[in-house]
Amino acid sequence: MEDCIKPTYQANSQSQEKSDFRVNGQITASQVRLILANGDNFGIISTRDALRKAADQGLDLIEIASGQIPVCKILEAGKYRYELQKRRAEAKKKQKVVEIKEIKLTPNIGDNDYGVKLRAARRFLEDGNKVKFNLRFRGREMSYIDLGAAVLTRAKTDLSDIAKVEQESKLEGRQMSLVMAPTK
């Protein structure tokens, strides 16, 4: 005799894809502003009449804008969903993600090292990213905070032609930081 328990599966409402728009019977308003399949504005009619018009054409009634009187359009739901996804993908493609690039400095940095770090910061700013200068004080360097502030001021003036200061230099524990953003 086998004791086997069969699991019962329930439809998870979160896993089902939630539609971004209402279709046909999901529209709850009593009246809608109807736009026909060819793009003409039909006017304000009852939802029942709009559903009947859509059914006569073999298409769906889709709520494209909500409000006191929602705007509904007669077209194919699958086609509208596809167009919406394409528009979102296009908008996402045009977005520019701004990163914060970090450059580490010391209070007694040499001129050549400073030049290398400055060129890197300039390249980051020209690419449209923000730059955060971190200046760390180790050991007895804490007594030379003014040297560290001078290094950050020098970086600020050297990059003033392509960047603006977003967060002024401030001392936090053993670290001083400055954030610059491109002026474009």
Each residue's pLDDT, cut to its tens digit, for the chain (184 residues) gives 444 444 443 434 333 345 677 888 788 888 888 888 887 888 888 888 888 888 888 888 888 888 888 888 888 888 888 888 898 888 888 777 778 899 999 998 999 999 999 999 999 999 889 999 999 998 888 888 888 889 999 999 999 999 999 888 888 888 999 999 998 7
Q: Which CATH number does 100-182 carry?
A: 3.30.110.10
> What is the Cα–Cα distance from 159 to 125, expressed in whole angstroms?
9
For the chain, residues classed under CATH 3.30.110.10 are 100-182
For the chain, residues classed under CATH 3.10.20.80 are 22-93
Q: Give the pLDDT confidence score for residue 128 in this predicted structure.
A: 87
pTM: 0.52
Q: Which CATH number does 22-93 carry?
A: 3.10.20.80
